[in-house]
């Protein structure tokens, strides 16, 4: 069964809009796990507009499943990961001002940089994943960075799913098959939801983990976090 890691950034966005500690990010991390999530994901940004660096330190002790930290590998981010030592770090090539992640790594032109960063995390015992699109040359080069996994950037799939789901999934199947062939484990994330997740999971048989935040937290506003996590988990049964 593909694992579900719940991104709780949007809980922090709501908290930060008013100040104080409501809703509690720490409680969200605990509840996600108690309600059946396989892991917790956070994506701290330099401006701390949602998850703050302090949140990352606060959350780490309550993790009993898996902790995944996403972000651009700036010096501050690298220092944070090495201090917290999550189970997994997902490297994302978004600049500080980006609203959300919107592209995968160019692994060819960033090879040396990625090798250096991944080497540091690997020495610390942290599993690494790099955010990547379906460009086959970038996937072929990804294995040379020594990353453990790739995370397929799934917004293009989600955007085209309603128009033609077979055409939407095709490049992801090809990318996943190549990654699997060359020894890379596969995660996925971005705009996956209750409408498109099951089909994606069925067509990518080697999928290890999905990271879902915006859609899941939005659904939870209507049907509750526990029920929402159960519904997402049902989509991941193979």
Q: Where are the domains of the chain?
A: 3-235
pLDDT on residue 57: 98
- Indicate if 214 belongs to the active site: no
pLDDT on residue 210: 98
Supply 27's token pair. 């409680």
The residue to which tokens 């040379």 are assigned: 144
pLDDT on residue 73: 95
| Active-site option among 50, 66, 151, 190 | 190
User: Rounded to whole angstroms, how far apart are CA atoms 216 and 21?
Assistant: 21
Q: What are phi and psi of 210, to 5 degrees?
A: -120, 145
Total residue count of the chain as it appears in this document: 238
pTM here? 0.95
pLDDT on residue 102: 62
> What count of Cα atoms within 13 Å lies in the side-chain half-sphere of residue 99?
1
CB 67 within 8 A of CB 56: no
- Indicate if 87 belongs to the active site: no
pLDDT on residue 96: 61
Buried b (16+ CB within 10 A) or exposed e, 110-128: beeebeebbeebeeeebbb
pLDDT on residue 100: 55
pLDDT on residue 78: 97
* Average pLDDT, 10 consecutive residues per value, the chain (238 residues): 97 96 98 98 93 98 98 96 98 71 85 98 98 97 97 97 98 98 97 98 97 98 98 95
| Active-site option among 43, 50, 66, 151 | 43
| Active-site option among 66, 70, 151, 209 | 70
Supply 97's token pair. 């001002």
pLDDT on residue 97: 58
Domain 3-235, classified CATH 3.40.50.300, yes or no: no
- Indicate if 166 belongs to the active site: no
């Amino acid at each position: 069964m593909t694992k579900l890691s719940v991104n709780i950034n949007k809980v922090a966005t709501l908290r930060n809009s008013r100040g104080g500690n409501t809703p509690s990010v720490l409680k969200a991390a605990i509840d996600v796990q108690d309600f059946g999530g396989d892991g917790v994901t956070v994506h701290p940004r330099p401006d701390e507009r949602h998850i703050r660096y302090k949140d990352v330190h606060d959350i780490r002790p309550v993790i009993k499943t898996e902790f995944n930290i996403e972000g651009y590998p700036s010096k501050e981010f690298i220092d944070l990961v090495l201090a917290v030592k999550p189970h997994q770090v997902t490297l994302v090539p978004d600049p500080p001002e980006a609203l959300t992640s919107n592209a995968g790594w160019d692994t060819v032109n960033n090879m040396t940089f990625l090798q250096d960063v991944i080497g540091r995390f690997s020495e610390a015992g942290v599993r690494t994943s790099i955010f990547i699109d379906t460009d086959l040359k970038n996937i072929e080069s990804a294995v040379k960075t020594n990353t453990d996994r790739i995370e397929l950037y799934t917004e293009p799939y989600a955007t085209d799913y309603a128009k033609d789901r077979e055409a939407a999934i095709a490049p992801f199947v090809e990318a996943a098959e190549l990654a699997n062939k060359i020894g890379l484990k596969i995660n996925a994330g971005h705009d996956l939801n209750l409408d498109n997740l099951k089909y994606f999971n069925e067509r990518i048989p080697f999928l290890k983990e999905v990271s879902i935040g915006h859609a899941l937290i939005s659904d939870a506003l209507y049907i509750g976090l526990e029920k929402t996590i159960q519904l997402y988990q049902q989509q991941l049964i193979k």
